[in-house]
Amino acid sequence: MKALKPRTADAAAGYLAVRAHTETLAAALSPEDQCVQSMADASPAKWHRAHTTWFFEQFCLVPHAAGYRPFDADFSYLFNSYYDAVGARHPRPQRGLLTRPSAGAVGEYRAHVDAAMADFLPHASAAARALVTLGLQHEQQHQELLATDIVHAFWQSPLLPAAIPGWTEPAGAAGPTRWKDFQGGVAAIGAASMAGKDGHDFAFDNERPRHRLLLAPYRLASRLVRNGDYLDFIEAGGYRTPSLWMSEGFAQAQAEGWQAPLYWRERDGAWHQFGPGGLAALDPAAPVRHVSWYEADAFARWSGARLPTEAELEAACGDIAEFDSHVWQWTASAYLPYPGFRAAPGAVGEYNGKFMINQMVLRGGSAVTPPGHARPSYRNFFHPDRRWQFSGLRLAQDIA
Ligand SMILES: [Fe+2]
C-alpha cells in the first residue's frame, strides 16, 4: 500500500499532472467539437472533462472534505455516468444535447474542484487517498475514451480533421512473425492487492484476487497481427465466408456491410486509415486496429490459429514483445469475475463488477492509453461488436 500513502507534495503533483493531461487533449478541440456525440457509446469531450471532475467531487470531496460545497447542484444529474447508488442521471445517448454548461463553464468546474482538492489532499485519510487514486486512474481511462470518441466523431466529418494535432502513427516493425512456445502449467494470474504487482502501484478490483489456474501448452505469435496480414484476409474473402465467423458476428458484418476494419477507406486505389492525425496511407507493417472481437476471432480462425486467453497473455508477459504496444489485444476470455471477486462497498463498487457480462477482455494497451496506466494484470473489456477502440489481436495456438 506504499504508493497509496505518497508524500503530500507528490500526491498534489500527481493529481495535477493527470488533470492537466485531460485539458491538453481538450485544448485541441473547439467548444463545438467538444459538444458532439457521434453515437451512444461515445461521449462528448466536454462531458468527459466534467464527468471526471464530478467523480472527485462525488466520491472524494462531498463525503470526505469538511465544508465542501458542490459547484452546481445540477451537475450530479448531468455528469453521473452509471452509478445507481448516487441517483438519477441524464440518459447516456443524449449527452451530446448538453449544450450547457458550456465548455468554458466546465473549465470553471474543473478549476473549482481542483482548488478544493489542493486544500483537501494534505489532510486526506488513507481511505480518501485511495479514492483519489481511483479517481486519477478513472480520469486516465477517460483520457483514452476522449481520444477514441473524438476520432469517431471526426470520422463522421467530410473534412476528416486531426483529433490530436501533431500525432504520428506508431511505425510498424519489419521482419517475420515467429511463434514462441510456453509449456503452461500452474500460473498465478491477477493482482495480489490494490497496490498491484510487479512494481505497479495500483490495480482495479477486477484484477483481483490473484489466483492460480492451469494452462495447457500453447504458443503465441511474437508480434501483433499487422495490416498487411489483415489485407490478405480481406482479399481471400474473409468477410464473405460464414464458416470463419461466429453467427452473431457474421450477421452483424453482413447487416452493416463490414468489408474492412473501421476507419479504413480506399482512395485512388489504395487503402488509407483514419486516426488521431487524420487520414494517412495504410502502413502494412503496423498492427491492425479497430477490429471487433468478431473480426479478430474470424481472422484467427482463417489463420489456423485462435485468440489467446487473458491468462495465457498475462502468464507470457515479459517473454513477448509489444505487450504494452500500439493496440489492445482481444482475447478469447469472457469478462467475468475472478474466483473470489468482491466489489468494493458503496457506490464505487459499481465501477467494474456490474459490467461482468456479455463482454470480452482485451489486454495490453494502446497508443492512446496514457503512459504508465496499463499493466500486465490490467483487464480492459468491450462488447464483441465494438470497433471504435484501438483494438487488434495476437494469434495463439495449442501445442498438440
Ligand atoms: Fe467514468
385 Cβ contact list (under 8 Å, min separation 6): 248, 249, 252, 292, 293, 294
Q: How far is the CA of 263 from the centre of ligand 1 (A)?
A: 25
pLDDT at 248 over 70: yes
Ligand 1 center–CA 303 separation, angstroms: 37
Nearest to 367 by CA among 270, 277, 298: 277
Distance 16 CA to ligand 1 centre (A): 18
Neighbours of 351 (CB within 10 A): 20
pLDDT at res. 324: 46
Residue in this structure with the C-alpha cell 478469447, named with its chain if needed: 332
**Cα 43 from chain centroid?**
14
Supply the Cα-derived Rg of the chain in whole angstroms.
Answer: 21
Ligand 1 centre distance from Cα of residue 135 (Å): 9
Q: What is the mean pLDDT of residues 244-267?
A: 98
- Protein fold of 179-398: paralog of FGE (formylglycine-generating enzyme) (3.90.1580)
Does 192 have pLDDT greater than 90?
no
Residue corresponding to grid cell 467475468: 336
**Local confidence band at 7 (pLDDT 50, 70, 90 cut-offs):** low
Tell me the pLDDT tens digit for each residue of 39-75: 999 999 999 999 999 999 999 999 999 999 999 999 9
Angstrom CA distances, 38 to 96, 152, 160, stand at 8, 7, 14
State how far the Cα of 34 lies from the Cα of 54, in Å rounded to an integer: 17
Cα of 51 vs centre of ligand 1, distance in Å, is 7
Q: Can you give the pLDDT at residue 1?
A: 34
Kindly give the distance from the C-alpha atom of residue 169 to the centroid of ligand 1, in angstroms, as a whole number. Answer: 27
Instruction: Compute, in angstroms, the gap from residue 140 CA to the centroid of ligand 1.
Output: 10
In one-letter notation, the amino acid at residue 353 is G
In the structure, what pLDDT confidence band is assigned to residue 199 with cuts at 50, 70 and 90?
low
pLDDT (mean) for 180-200: 80
Domain map (residue ranges) of the chain:
10-155, 179-398
Express each pLDDT in 282-299 by its tens digit. 999 999 999 999 999 999
Q: How far apart are CA 397 and CA 106, in angstroms?
A: 49
> In this structure, are residues 11 and 132 in contact, taking their beta carbons and an 8 Å threshold?
yes
pLDDT category at 197 given cuts 50, 70, 90 is: very low
The whole-angstrom distance between residue 334's C-alpha and the CA centroid of its chain comes to 16
Q: Give the pLDDT band (50/70/90) at residue 181.
A: very high
Instruction: Report the separation in Å between the CA atom of 220 and the middle of ligand 1, taken as the mean of its atom positions.
Output: 33
Residue 177's SS3 state is: coil
Number of DSSP helices (H) and strands (E) in the chain, helices first: 11, 12
Q: How far apart are CA 212 and CA 342, in angstroms?
A: 17
pLDDT digits (tens, 9 = 90+) for 316-345: 987 776 544 799 999 999 999 999 999 888
How distant, in Å, are the alpha carbons of 228, 281, 393 from that of 329?
17, 23, 4
Compute the average pLDDT of residues 165-191: 91
Of 322 and 251, the structure prediction assigns the larger pLDDT to 251
Q: Ligand 1 centre from 2 Cα, in Å?
A: 25
Examine the pLDDT at 23 and tell me if it is beyond 50.
Answer: yes
Distance 97 CA to ligand 1 centre (A): 19
Q: How far is the CA of 398 from the centre of ligand 1 (A)?
A: 38
3-state helix, strand, coil split of the chain in percent (to 5) is 40, 15, 45
- Name the 3-class secondary structure at 308: coil
- What are the pLDDT digits (tens) for 68-109? 999 999 999 999 999 999 899 999 999 999 999 999 999 999
Per-residue pLDDT band for 200 (boundaries 50, 70, 90) equals low
230 CA to centre of ligand 1 in angstroms? 33
Nearest to 351 by CA among 127, 81, 128: 81
Task: Say yes or no to pLDDT of 400 above 90.
Answer: no
pTM above 0.85, yes or no: yes
Alpha helices in the chain (DSSP H): 8-27, 31-35, 45-56, 62-64, 75-79, 103-120, 126-155, 227-235, 247-255, 293-302, 310-316
The model's confidence at residue 346, banded by pLDDT at 50, 70 and 90, is confident
Please tell me the predicted confidence (pLDDT) of residue 2. 37
77 CA → ligand 1 middle, Å: 14
